[in-house]
Amino acid sequence: MLLREINNIYHSELDVIYGKEEVNSFFYLLIEHYFDLERFVLVIQPELVIDKEQETVIFQALSELKLEKPIQHIIGTAYFMDLDFKVNGYVLIPRPETEELVRWILDDHKNTAKALTILDMGTGSGCIPISLDKNLTDAKVFGLDISTDALKVAEENNGLHGANVKFFKADMLSLNTETSVKELDQKFDIIISNPPYVRELEKAEMQNNVIDHEPSLALFVPDEDPLKFYSSVVNFAAEHLNEKGCLYLEINQYLGKETKQLLEKSNFKTIELRKDMFGNDRMIKGIIK
């Protein structure tokens, strides 16, 4: 079958769900991933024929897209900070907003002479600590998660990218009782977290592909206690940051003020709230005095 015929089928079946532009980007990503073909191929080789075996793969992807499976789950990777991270249903797919948070940290600390000790709480795929480890020389980087399945993905990414992050299992909500976890018994220069922050009441704003395929454990918080992870992380950070240590958090865009107040109550100074590329309050930094 001609590649351009397959492209037409993609549009006729998927445009109603995703819109033409997104379908184009899915199609180009898939032909690059599976066949190593560039997007211009449709223009420069309009008569390009796809063999039977290749057809099976590309039509399989089409049926998964029809079921609103995330494209990153279909190809098994997500692009973050110039690296391909393995992802599956046990971890959140890395978001561009989170990349902005990582870039903020790198801008602040890239030229620090000191070997930094860093902890990421609720690490998922490990995309945050691994990209920090790759970009900061001599840093000692740790990542924790409650999910053993997520930690497996993080370890795989660590190996894949030749990073040296030390991952370990711990529950962010009961850090005081995790006394046997030796990695928590130290001080850090930087603590980061992108914990669950989507309230149940915000589910209506979300896409099906997120709700149906990404882990609820990593996304949702109860309407009546939306900052429960933040309280725990902020308390821990207030005790476990070195002097002038920094806390960086990705936050719920509607709860910027409330999250800032949490930091103020715990002795953080120079608190800065930042917007993401979409103009939403998305990240916060506090320095402990």
Q: Which of 95, 169, 274, 275 binds ligand GLN (CB under 6 A)?
A: 95
Q: Which of 27, 197, 230, 268 binds ligand GLN (CB under 6 A)?
A: 197
Least separation in angstroms between CB 97 and ligand GLN: 6
Least separation in angstroms between CB 198 and ligand GLN: 5
Least separation in angstroms between CB 205 and ligand GLN: 9
State yes or no: residue 127 binds ligand GLN (CB under 6 A): no
State yes or no: residue 198 binds ligand GLN (CB under 6 A): yes
**Kind of pairing, strands 140-145 and 77-80?**
unpaired
Bridge partners of 79?
84
Tokens of 179: 């006394």
| Chain centroid, CA 106 distance in Å | 16
Sketch the per residue contact string, 209 through 248, with ligand GLN: x for CB under 6 A, - otherwise: -x--------x-----------------------------
Least separation in angstroms between CB 195 and ligand GLN: 6
State yes or no: residue 124 binds ligand GLN (CB under 6 A): no
**Phi first, then psi: what are they for 167, rounded to 5°?**
-95, 145
The H-assigned helical ranges of 19-147 are 20-35, 41-44, 52-66, 71-75, 96-109, 127-135
Amino acid letter, 10: Y
How many angstroms separate the CA atoms of 52 and 28, rounded? 19
Residue nearer to ligand GLN on the CB measure, 77 or 194: 194
Q: Which of 255, 259, 279 is nearest to 271 (CA)?
A: 259
Tell me the CB-side half-sphere exposure of residue 269, using CA atoms within 13 A.
Answer: 5
Least separation in angstroms between CB 138 and ligand GLN: 29
Residues forming contacts to ligand GLN in the complex (CB under 6 A) are: 95, 194-198, 210, 219
